[in-house]
């Protein structure tokens, strides 16, 4: 299959491009500097020239706190930009595989969110990602899969485990919030799932996230433990650690599309693979 990947130098984009090449697909990968998805003409030209079977949109504004002050810019990428990609893909007869986020939910539930649950983002980033879902559905109504995932971590980018490993090496103790619960997702696992979805092509939204769920505190504890570090991890509340953007208190993703949504390994397995990749890097 011929795959065009946007945002290909990002944390997820790198893993998708590598996994696709390893699987024998013909890959056309564009980093941000090579293709800016906010430029509709450039997007159309890139997609028309490459004539892919499928476009994986990994390009996004991912600075959650920064989006609060720059919501227009974030929405330009995550909303309108996603729409440009979907429109050009549809015009070329290509399927759009778009990556979205658990932050489209408000986090008020205490049981896993499924695809048809009411969205209600509580941050500018969440609103921009929801705008992207609507744009993709509008411009490629019969040829898109929107993959909501959550709490991504991977070898190819700055991420929570990398931050915890750095801080744990510098400090004797760390305070980490224990009142936000979600599904850490290893990008190596998500990349494989995206390739599966490239074959299956379920229409609409599917939830794909690491198995199990935990708080950031539990995640940090597991990271420090896996690295056999001495640092003590202590739980604290979101109120003790104010950030510009609100996060959902609970954004565990479940699925009602059994058989259509690939099932990922438990997040702890993802963490083991992440640690192994770090050691061998």
Pairing of strands 26-30, 2-6: parallel
The reply to whether 180 sits near ligand NAP by the rule CB under 6 A is: no
Residues in region 22-81 near ligand NAP by CB under 6 A = 32, 35-38, 58-62, 77, 81
Q: CA-CA-CA-CA torsion for 96, 72, 116, 218, nearest 10 degrees?
A: 100
Q: CA-CA-CA-CA torsion for 193, 207, 123, 143, nearest 10 degrees?
A: 80
Alpha-carbon dihedral sign for residues 187, 188, 189, 190:
positive
Q: Which stretch binds ligand NAP (CB under 6 A): 7-15, 105-113, 200-208, 241-249?
A: 7-15
Cβ closest to ligand NAP, residue 20 vs residue 234: 20
Measured from the CB of residue 228, what is the shortest distance to ligand NAP in angstroms?
25
Can you tell me which of 75, 145, 150, 215 binds ligand NAP, judged by CB under 6 A? 150
The reply to whether 215 sits near ligand NAP by the rule CB under 6 A is: no
Catalytic site residue from 113, 125, 217, 250: 125
Q: Give the C-alpha distances (Å, rounded to integers) separating 187 from 10, 12, 155, 162, 253.
A: 11, 6, 8, 14, 16
The reply to whether 7 sits near ligand NAP by the rule CB under 6 A is: yes
Tell me the C-alpha distance between 279 and 91, whole Å.
44
Measured from the CB of residue 230, what is the shortest distance to ligand NAP in angstroms?
27
Using CB under 6 A, count the residues that bind ligand NAP: 27
The reply to whether 10 sits near ligand NAP by the rule CB under 6 A is: yes
Measured from the CB of residue 126, what is the shortest distance to ligand NAP in angstroms?
10
Angle between helices 11-22 and 187-200 (to 10 degrees): 60
Place of tokens 């944390």: 11
DSSP assignment letter at 182:
E
125 is catalytic: yes
The reply to whether 210 sits near ligand NAP by the rule CB under 6 A is: no
**Plot region of 57 (φ>0 → left; ψ -120 to 50 → alpha; else → beta):** beta
Contact flags string 109-128 toward ligand NAP, x per CB under 6 A: --------------------
> CA angle 200-76-109, nearest 5°?
60
Residues that bind ligand NAP (CB under 6 A): 6-7, 9-13, 32, 35-38, 58-62, 77, 81, 99, 101, 129, 149-152, 157
Catalytic residues: 125
């Amino acid at each position: 299959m011929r795959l065009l990947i946007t945002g290909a130098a990002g944390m997820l984009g790198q893993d998708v491009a590598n996994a696709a090449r390893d699987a024998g697909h013909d890959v056309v990968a564009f980093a941000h500097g090579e293709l800016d998805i906010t430029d509709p003409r450039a997007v159309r030209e890139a997609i028309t020239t490459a004539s892919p079977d499928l476009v994986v949109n990994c390009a996004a504004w991912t600075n959650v706190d920064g989006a609060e002050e720059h919501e227009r810019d974030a929405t330009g990428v995550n909303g309108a930009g996603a729409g440009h990609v979907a429109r050009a893909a549809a015009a070329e007869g290509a399927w759009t595989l778009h990556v979205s986020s658990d932050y489209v939910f408000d986090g008020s539930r205490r049981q896993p969110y499924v695809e048809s649950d009411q969205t209600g983002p509580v941050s500018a980033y969440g609103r921009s990602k929801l705008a992207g879902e609507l744009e993709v559905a509008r411009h490629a109504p019969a040829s898109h899969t929107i993959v909501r995932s959550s709490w991504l971590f991977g070898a190819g980018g700055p991420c929570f485990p990398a931050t915890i490993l750095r801080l744990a090496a510098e400090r004797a103790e760390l305070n980490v919030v224990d009142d936000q619960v979600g599904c850490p997702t290893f990008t190596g696992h998500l990349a494989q799932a995206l390739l599966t979805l490239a074959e299956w092509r379920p229409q609409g939204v599917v939830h794909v996230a690491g198995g199990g769920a935990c708080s950031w505190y539990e995640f940090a504890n597991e990271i420090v433990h896996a690295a056999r570090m001495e640092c003590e991890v202590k739980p604290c509340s979101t109120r003790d650690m104010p950030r510009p953007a609100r996060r959902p208190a609970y954004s565990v993703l479940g699925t009602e599309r059994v058989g259509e949504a690939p099932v990922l390994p438990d997040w702890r397995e993802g963490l083991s693979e992440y640690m192994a990749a770090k050691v061998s890097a």
